[in-house]
Amino acid sequence: MPNDRDRKFISGVETAKFLKITEACVLRSVECGTLKGRLRKMGKRTSVLVERKSAEVYLQKLNDSISPKEVATILGIGRKAVVDLIEHSCMSAFRGRTVDGHQKWLIDRNAPVDLLNRIDVLLNERTNNEITKKCSFDLGFRRLSGSGCTIGSLVRAILDKTIVPISKDKGIGLKQYCFSVRDINRLVEEYFKGDELAANVWVNKYA
């Protein structure tokens, strides 16, 4: 960071050097709002000035971010499923294709734990304690996957209270949750709405 701490703005070149990213990334970050600054068209070129404090906050968030691989380890899922969670607004990314156009995703290190905590709250709020047949997260997902459900859409359904786990078991991350078989079958029927035969076939496949 430049020695003159009184300067409110720093150039795109200085910002890129400070954050160890490219000038193009600085430009994209200002355009999408993850960096606060000013853009100025100069013929075919665009010059950029970045607020010094914004660059410092960005660096802190950069240092507090983890990769999809690390998130996947915490949640017990694959890396592609992590991106699917982001695309279904189950977690927010600090950097990535839909954020600033960057090819590599970065997620706040607290995001996966926060997601699990949100699901725990819903589980604890569940008032129906009726004894029912249950299935694991993996089995529930397999039942739903044939109807086009993804990890992201399933977790989104949990957060929207469309389906809520009934208990927790041994497992890592999302895989510790268990569902009511009845709730899973109900969701399958909703996904196959309008095609009762397909719904019955899929439900009976795992009966």
pLDDT at residue number 60: 92
Confidence of residue 126 (pLDDT cuts 50, 70, 90): confident
Confidence of residue 203 (pLDDT cuts 50, 70, 90): very low
What is the edge-to-edge ordering of all strands in the sheet holding 45-51? 9-11, 45-51, 37-42
Instruction: Read off the pLDDT of residues 42-98 as tens digits, 9 standing for 90 and up.
Output: 777 888 899 999 999 999 998 999 999 999 999 999 999 999 999 999 998 988 888
Q: Is the pTM of this model over 0.85?
A: no
DSSP-assigned letter for residue 88: T
pLDDT at residue number 7: 81
Taking Cα atoms as reference points, which of 152, 120, 141 lies closest to residue 183?
A: 141
